[in-house]
Structure 1
Amino acid sequence: MNAVEIEEAVSALAESPFDPAEFPFQFLEAFGNKPATIKRLRDGHSNSSDVGGVLQRNNIHLAAAAEGDVAATLARLKSSPATTKAKAQFILATDGDMFEAEDIESGETVACTFAEFPEHFGFFLPLAGISTVKQVRDSAFDIRATSRLNRLYVELLKDNPEWSKADRRPDMNHFMARLIFCFFAEDTDIFNGTGLFTATVDQMSEKDASNTHEVIAEIFRAMNTPINDRQTAGIRSWANVFPYVNGGLFSGSLEVPRFSRIARSYLLHIGSLKWTQINPDIFGSMIQAVADDEERGALGMHYTSRPNILKILDPLFLDSLREQLEEAGDSGRKLLNLRNRMARIRVFDPACGSGNFLVIAYKEMREIEAEINRRRGEEGRASDIPLTNFRGIELRDFPAEVARLALIIAEFQCDTLYRGQKLALAEFLPLNAQNWITCGNALRIDWLSICPPTGTSVKLVGDDLFHTPLDQAQIDFENEGGETYICGNPPYLGSTWQNKEQKSDLEQIFGHRTSGWKSLDYVAGWFMKAADYGLHTPAVAAFVSTNSICQGQQVPVLWPLIFDTGHEIAFAHTSFKWANLASHNAGVIVVVVAIARNVAKERPLFGFDDVGQSVVQSTKNINAYLIPGNNVIVTKSPKPITQVSEMEFGNKASDGGNLLLDSDELSRLELSDEQKEKFICRIFGAAEFIQGKSEYCIWINEGNAEEALAIEPIAKRVEGVRRMRLESSKDATRAKAAKPYLFDEVKQTGDEDSIFIPSVSSENRPYLPVGILGKRTIAKAPNFALYRADLWNMAIIASRIHLVWVAAVCGKLKTDFRYSNTLGWNTFPVPTLTEKNKDDLTRCAEDILLAREAHFPATIADLYDPENMPANLREAHERNDEVLERIYIGRRFKNDTERLEKLFELYTKMTAGSGAAKKKAGARA
């Protein structure tokens, strides 16, 4: 469940008759607990409450109280030994009249009437696995409003199916934007009278809703008609009380969809909410989902937390403003210089969605400006920061409208906060007709037409705030000597998930620059456009991106192009989870990367230490892998650049399923033990090696082929291979039909040990899975193996330092490590090893294998579960890391960043000159 669905369920529970016996289970069900979980609690199998309530381990201890006994019941829950033993985070007591709860970890409490408890549902979101920040808890209104608006939207489309068609959907979305404005305006005295819009609809429309659309249309018509023109226009007296709004919000068609009784009821209920609590930081992204069919099923997943957005905006320019404010002290001249600087700052989000970044940037700047005015004795002064300096491009029309509306609301709220409501109201209406959010494809639009170079002026005057052409912003603009900061969270989309239009967007940007553009994530287009923009005017651009653009094969494709424009990485934030409001935090792993042509000597690199604490490192350069150091690009190498053994693919069958066998298929062959010993081998792919699954193969060589083919069940399967290969469209595969008893690609005899490495493995393990395959055991492609290699090679692969190299340069499949021999192993910098070094590493590898063996039959997946890794195995790996890292620097590395810094330093030295150091491989004869 997502946050909006939870809110709906909680609200429904509060509106239902209170049942003391059922309430605890109903409450847990509202937060996404599955029927089986509820059943175990109800049956008592997993309920260990000692006060007659319901106790869910690690979550909550709750109980229905006797009438008037809520506080005492909550105290009993808190002092309960079972609460402590089960590590419950929350306690909750209610008698159906009053409601009290406490977060034991934080000490925060809730006390309200039972009917009001849905207003606090954000307090309990951790019960659903949703990691929250305080802002989300304080913004429960936005989620509740979104939930109600979603119900209304769906109901209106049901009654007005023609409005759901592509040509009418913009009208429907525009109608919703008008409603949102009306709800906000009637609760903030923008309309003369609290609740004016909702009350007028309630009083003037019939209870059966037959004329509701006409009443709303007349109110909209009034707000689109100047006061002096209303008599001529024939505005009805009951609508004439509404102010003139205009600004494009109420221009154009005033048609309103027809309402059913249910839709009318939804509208009135929405109007009864406390819209003064609207938070444009979060509200825009929630409302955006209401109007999008694909996104409505994921309501609440678009929330972008303010702390995450500030990871971009603070180092981009806000920290600089705050530092200048601090330096200015009470100097009137310095404060004035800062205020003048801020008035010329443009913030441009070319993937603005519903305006989260722009709204937060605006509000943060207004806070700084208010402090300047306070220090200068000019409190209540009109703001010098124009909304038109907060530019955006958004592909879809409704989010673009919501972005403008969110900024308008943010401006009014800031004016109310810093200047007083009287002045804010006096200057708010009518809305300005200037427009600064463009609806269109950001990868096709010339950004210079949206944000012209500083030092020039553009005068393209428009008259409609809410209807924008595709290729220009309609504003009066002069920004002589100003600063431009580009930011945002563009769509990521790996190459596999891009549609034809999106691939065409990337081809248009990259096709003439590189042949490797097809491998790029969609977000790469924004980075390249920003770099091109920066060639024409000074700017700093910082985007949230999937970390894949700073890993693996995308790095040598994208980053040389950006560096060639003269841009460098100005600051960055290493991988972190970009959370949303979905259950169990289905956030994506992202990085923040900023690029500019004029970069400071010291560049901040934000990240985390080994225990997860935030750290910032000042460095002279940040490379494309987000590591301090030179702008080195790691490229594939056909051979190892150091003395390690050569790593190859496993054996490829190309057999049509005939040479590979599961246990049942092997049994059905009815081979004798002697035949199995000669012609059957265990074969290992990633699943077999990591999870302990069993797979076999028919393994025949030239010397025993005649004997094998004399065995009828084997001969039948070999014939199946021959037919499959002959039918292939590939010449090379058809050629292999001449010897169908052999694997397509044979890398080993089957009579030797090998070191096996899965091609894909989970990022959650502290070490890469690697191990020894014995005789008569085959490595399967596309996994990797070292054949006839010394055991010390395994110690290197099993090390922490190798894992962090692979994570950086090989990239990932979704979030899993994707190993590569040419990119991860052949390029791995290893210092020259002495014979003693090799002996020490060999013993380390043996100790790791012995530690695993002590826990037989535990699988690799069992042994390397980070929460349950056996102590002796962890100690063996720690010794291995100690030995190897001392070879590098004479001590253990402090953290992964230091490991990567050293590796990139060595890689640069080893590949200087010819592109790859030519060193003899350490293969055994």
Structure 2
Amino acid sequence: MTPHEFIKKWSNSKLKERSAAQEHFLDLCRILNEPTPAEVDPSGESYGFEVGATTTTGGRGFADVFKRDHFGWEYKGTHSNLDAAFAQLQRYAVALDNPPLLIVSDIGTTIRIHTNWTNSVSKKYVIPIVDLEDAEKRQWLKWAFSEPDLLRPKKTRQELTEEVAGEFAELAKSLRSRGHKPEEVAHFINRLVFCMFAEDVKLLPERMFTKMIERALDDPAEFEAFARTLFLAMKDGGRVGFEKVAWFNGGLFNDDLVFALTKDELKIIHRAAVQYWGDIDPSILGTLFERGLDPDKRSQLGAHYTDRDKIMMIINPVIVEPLTEEWEAAKGEIVGLLLKAEEAEMNAKAAGGRASSSRRGRATTARNEAQAVLDRYLQRLADYRVLDPACGSGNFLYLALRALKDLEHRAQVEAEALGLPRRFPSIGPEVVKGIEINPYAAELARVSVWVGEIQWMLKNGFAASMEPVLKPLETIECRDALIGPDGSEAEWPKADAIVGNPPFLGDRLMVGRLGEDESEAIRTVFAGRLPRSSDLVCYWFEKASAALGAHRTDRFGFVATNSIRGGSNRKSIEKAMSICPLATAWSDEEWMVDGAAVRVSLLCFARGNAPILLLNGRAVAVINADLTGDGIDLTKALKLSSNRGVCVHGSKKIGSFDIDGEEARHLLQSPVNPNGRPNSDVLAPLWNGADIVRRPGDRWIIDFGMEMKEADAAVFERPFALVVDRVKPDRLTNRNPVLVENWWLHGGPRPAMRNTLPFLTRSIATPALAKHRLFVFVPKPVLADSQLMVVLRDDDTTFGILHSWFHEIWSLRMGTSLEDRPRYTPTTTFETFPFPESLTPDVPTAAYADNPHAIAIAAAAARLNELRENWLNPPDLVRREPEVVPGFPDRVLPVDDKAAAILKKRTLTNLYNDRPAWLDNVHKALDAAVAAAYGWPADLSDDEILARLFALNQERAAAQKGD
């Protein structure tokens, strides 16, 4: 058949839909040279007519034509309402596994292709039947039959959201620059955004908002009056001109706040208004709100953009999967009851008389019981409550709401296919609860939830609720989630599931961000339940665990920084695991915070025994508290007495004691002080993590030791004067009386380190946080700062063991991490590590002299150190210059500018990133020497190494307990 013949046959056809639809479709197959459903799939399951029809539904399917992974197609008679046909198809899309295209057509005039991809903006292709001789329009249809991806809109919902958010960031910046309050700017911008959304989903009259902006572009002075009239009409319902405006309410339009806008600002809004806002992701409200605030206020909100796939990694296991299991069980029961009813009806027909009446009664009873099973499940969903106790702008809540509505919708559609009557959706925003301390964010959460509700209703073929459009949501509360108004612990409402993304804030940053009073109040309330050094997120885990223990919730799932896996933070996981299983977890995922990528862990707990435990998407026998899933639970590794006190933090200043090299040399060359001592007595080079992983800088520190009296320190005139000027003012305001009383001394001088270093020729140090676990020798009298972990040994053997893969893999598993930088601590990583027998840190260095394993390790370690130093500082690129006074390490300086440029790239981080063959070989030699010291093969797998180290740890811990 040719396109011309098709047009002649079908244009304005008077045939009825029911009698003509299949022939119409088969003719389309012929003009497109596409195989028919029977040719592709004789069973009709994946490609066929009336898919979803059953004997109980009277032969009508979910779609007139269905091709799996391609389309669902609904026919109507010529000149019928295709919007109604599309809504009908939307309502049944879930039963068709949500095909990427939803196609509606009348017999004689039009074919419409609607895209249905989850994360793409919507697009509609309209093909009048009389235009089928147009090759481009036939190509659209051809792609629908064979390559639907070619019809996928190029822009994703996320890209649209981010693009528009970027535009509005400029508007917010412009408004703030004119002195408007940041919160009011954010509030105003979100009103504009919601108006665009309401316009595109037909909640505002046709193009009302866009026409208002276009009119204001002619005379920007009129914008304020226009917008104020519209906002007031939306507040209570009313009219703008002759057009009726619905009652919106909900808090967003509770006043007539409007800002005057320039023509350039109106152009920004107009560019945004012409986009299709029906597809906008509700999370844009939080994104825009953050960008409307001052930068220093963004982090207080936590309403950052996070794509839905990440959020669903928590919502699926916590909410969707268990409720889906409940539905599958209920559906099985319904099927059994309906089969029983069908069998009773068949028997009734065959029996006749009284027997027939009795059997019909049994059939009715079975059908009523099936309906009761469905009603109980639907009521279960209607009664289900989800709490986000740190809800920000509502991203978790609106996706939880959509998930619950999807579950209800699927149950209704599948029950209808079995023969039970269908009802209008009953689940609404009342099923979600939230707690948010920021009043503007709480308002946004309510609006985001309602936008999500409206989008879901329209996408699934239902009308949005009205009168008002935005109903008040009292279930989203504006208050502190941890501390009540009277200073006691805040109470959370009862909920079936708790989900969310609590604030990320390390324990050391809490005072700076929350203030001393609030930080202390939190730690006091939770004293005895969590260590004081816990990160802020741990308090949400503690409260959710308590809710589980008190049977006020059944499940919870939170996002946390991946540092929750270790140290004192891990106590919050262990506490939850003592109450219920850790059922699903992702140990290390990328997440977005304030537009920056961070590394997080996702943890989901469930009451009862989960049938399958999932770690990083794979089934495991057990999930340990450090979010590992092998048979070795390293969280049970114990500290060993042989390692105690050997690894310590570097000196903690608490004040501006550091100075640059030029100033230090000036002090070093100053005249001797009145006490007859040089300034070199109280000056030392200072190293931090950057000095190790990059190149040593030229920073020094003023250091009066641990016990020097103020009068004695004052005799070192110029260094003391600098401390008076730079340190004293801040230290006198510190709440710690010891720091105030000893303001000229470092706040954390580390006595164990200072008392041991004089007896060593050098020490060993590693950064607390680093991409690679690197150890270096620190020469005397360089002072290590608090971000360096200092091992109080000076021998090559210990250096070699620490730099072996045996210790590195242990430290990676035992430490925590910040983004991609593993953390090393004296307690969890060093003190638990079992050194080879006779080479433990409590063994004097002199004992290594006759130990062949110690000698072999020392030789390999010395070679590693030598080769690394030669690569870092080649003799043709550097010159070594003695310090201005004796007693300090030589300065390593580039010979010229060209050498300086080369040396800048010669860092240990870059070296280990590249890991050249020579470096790999020398590490292999070192690992072999350490393996021999353990008496183990050199080719053990990582799992075998950890298993053996753990067994050795447990054996030694048990022995020291016996001692």
TM-score (norm 2): 0.59
SS in structure 1 at match of 2:509 = helix
Q: Using the TM superposition, give the Cα deviation of residue 404 of structure 1 relative to its aligned residue in structure 2, in angstroms.
A: 2.0
Match of 1:763 among 751, 770, 773: 770
**What do residues 348-392 of structure 1 show as CA deviations (whole Å, max 9, x unaligned)?**
211111111222233344444444444333698533433221222
State the match for 1:848 in structure 2: 864
Match of 1:524 among 503, 514, 538: 538
**What do residues 708-760 of structure 1 show as CA deviations (whole Å, max 9, x unaligned)?**
xxxxxxx9998878999999988999999xxxxx999353557x6545123x2
State the match for 2:208 in structure 1: 196
1:720–1:398 Cα change, 3 Å:
closer
Match of 1:618 among 617, 620, 632: 620
1:907–1:735 Cα change, 3 Å:
same
Would the aligned equivalents of 2:658 and 2:701 in 1 still touch at CA under 8 Å?
Answer: no
The AA in structure 2 aligned to 1:404 is R
User: Within the alignment, does 1:147 sit opposite 2:189 as a pair?
Assistant: no
1:363–1:756 Cα change, 3 Å:
same
SS in structure 2 at match of 1:244 = coil
Say which one has the larger Rg: 2
State the match for 2:804 in structure 1: 799
1:173–1:873 Cα change, 3 Å:
closer
State the match for 2:181 in structure 1: 164
Would the aligned equivalents of 1:570 and 1:595 in 2 still touch at CA under 8 Å?
Answer: yes
The AA in structure 1 aligned to 2:219 is D
User: Within the alignment, does 1:242 sit opposite 2:245 as a pair?
Assistant: yes
Would the aligned equivalents of 2:860 and 2:925 in 1 still touch at CA under 8 Å?
Answer: yes
Match of 1:546 among 558, 561, 570: 561
Instruction: State the alpha-carbon separation in 2 of the partners of residues 650 and 426 from structure 1.
Output: 63
State the match for 1:870 in structure 2: 916
Would the aligned equivalents of 1:330 and 1:376 in 2 still touch at CA under 8 Å?
Answer: no
SS in structure 1 at match of 2:641 = coil
Pairing of 1:658-737 with structure 2 (within 5 A): 685-686=687-688, 691-692=695-696
Instruction: State the alpha-carbon separation in 2 of the partners of residues 518 and 501 from structure 1.
Output: 15
Would the aligned equivalents of 1:679 and 1:698 in 2 still touch at CA under 8 Å?
Answer: no
1:899–1:438 Cα change, 3 Å:
farther
SS in structure 1 at match of 2:500 = strand
Q: Aligned residues: percent identity?
A: 21
Instruction: State the alpha-carbon separation in 2 of the partners of residues 345 and 868 from structure 1.
Output: 54
**What do residues 321-367 of structure 1 show as CA deviations (whole Å, max 9, x unaligned)?**
45666788887459947655444432221111111122223334444
State the match for 1:303 in structure 2: 305
Q: Using the TM superposition, give the Cα deviation of residue 683 of structure 1 relative to its aligned residue in structure 2, in angstroms.
A: 6.8
SS in structure 1 at match of 2:499 = strand
Pairing of 1:456-605 with structure 2 (within 5 A): 483-499=496-512, 501=514, 503-514=516-527, 517-536=531-550, 537-555=552-570, 558=572, 566=579, 569-579=582-592, 582=595, 586-595=596-605, 598=608, 600=610, 603-605=613-615
The AA in structure 2 aligned to 1:245 is F
Instruction: State the alpha-carbon separation in 2 of the partners of residues 388 and 289 from structure 1.
Output: 26
State the match for 1:31 in structure 2: none
Instruction: State the alpha-carbon separation in 2 of the partners of residues 153 and 853 from structure 1.
Output: 52
Match of 1:359 among 394, 398, 405: 398
Would the aligned equivalents of 1:201 and 1:216 in 2 still touch at CA under 8 Å?
Answer: no
Instruction: State the alpha-carbon separation in 2 of the partners of residues 257 and 725 from structure 1.
Output: 51
**What do residues 517-564 of structure 1 show as CA deviations (whole Å, max 9, x unaligned)?**
5433222221222223223313322221222333334446x5666567
1:625–1:507 Cα change, 3 Å:
farther
The AA in structure 1 aligned to 2:159 is A
Q: Using the TM superposition, give the Cα deviation of residue 605 of structure 1 relative to its aligned residue in structure 2, in angstroms.
A: 2.5
Match of 2:833 among 828, 833, 836: 828
**What do residues 653-689 of structure 1 show as CA deviations (whole Å, max 9, x unaligned)?**
9998899999956995899xxxx9x999997845665
User: Within the alignment, does 1:215 sit opposite 2:226 as a pair?
Assistant: yes
Q: Using the TM superposition, give the Cα deviation of residue 150 of structure 1 relative to its aligned residue in structure 2, in angstroms.
A: 3.7
Q: Using the TM superposition, give the Cα deviation of residue 642 of structure 1 relative to its aligned residue in structure 2, in angstroms.
A: 4.3
State the match for 2:278 in structure 1: 276
1:659–1:600 Cα change, 3 Å:
same
User: Within the alignment, does 1:291 sit opposite 2:292 as a pair?
Assistant: yes
Unmatched 5+ stretches in structure 2: 1-152, 337-372, 673-677, 704-712, 732-737, 746-750, 840-850, 875-902
**What do residues 431-459 of structure 1 show as CA deviations (whole Å, max 9, x unaligned)?**
444433222222235999986436xxxxx
SS in structure 2 at match of 1:588 = strand
Would the aligned equivalents of 1:641 and 1:910 in 2 still touch at CA under 8 Å?
Answer: no
Instruction: State the alpha-carbon separation in 1 of the partners of residues 302 and 538 from structure 2.
Output: 26
Q: Using the TM superposition, give the Cα deviation of residue 797 of structure 1 relative to its aligned residue in structure 2, in angstroms.
A: 0.7
State the match for 1:641 in structure 2: 641
State the match for 2:114 in structure 1: none
The AA in structure 2 aligned to 1:877 is H
**What do residues 212-257 of structure 1 show as CA deviations (whole Å, max 9, x unaligned)?**
333333333333446xxx6xxxx5642x42233345544x433544
State the match for 2:754 in structure 1: 745
Q: Using the TM superposition, give the Cα deviation of residue 304 of structure 1 relative to its aligned residue in structure 2, in angstroms.
A: 0.8
Unmatched 5+ stretches in structure 1: 1-133, 455-482, 607-614, 700-714, 737-741, 919-925
SS in structure 1 at match of 2:448 = helix
Pairing of 1:410-449 with structure 2 (within 5 A): 410-418=452-460, 420=461, 423-425=462-464, 430-444=469-483
Pairing of 1:120-131 with structure 2 (within 5 A): none
Instruction: State the alpha-carbon separation in 2 of the partners of residues 412 and 696 from structure 1.
Output: 62
SS in structure 1 at match of 2:392 = coil
Tell me whether 846-855 or 296-305 shows the greater mean CA deviation: 296-305
Query: Alpha carbon RMSD of aligned pairs, Å?
Result: 5.4
TM-score (norm 1): 0.62
1:876–1:624 Cα change, 3 Å:
same
Instruction: State the alpha-carbon separation in 2 of the partners of residues 448 and 684 from structure 1.
Output: 44
Match of 1:350 among 384, 389, 397: 389
Q: Using the TM superposition, give the Cα deviation of residue 820 of structure 1 relative to its aligned residue in structure 2, in angstroms.
A: 4.1
Instruction: State the alpha-carbon separation in 1 of the partners of residues 568 and 492 from structure 2.
Output: 33
The AA in structure 2 aligned to 1:552 is G
Instruction: State the alpha-carbon separation in 2 of the partners of residues 389 and 428 from structure 1.
Output: 19
Would the aligned equivalents of 1:223 and 1:246 in 2 still touch at CA under 8 Å?
Answer: yes
State the match for 1:388 in structure 2: 430
User: Within the alignment, does 1:453 sit opposite 2:494 as a pair?
Assistant: yes
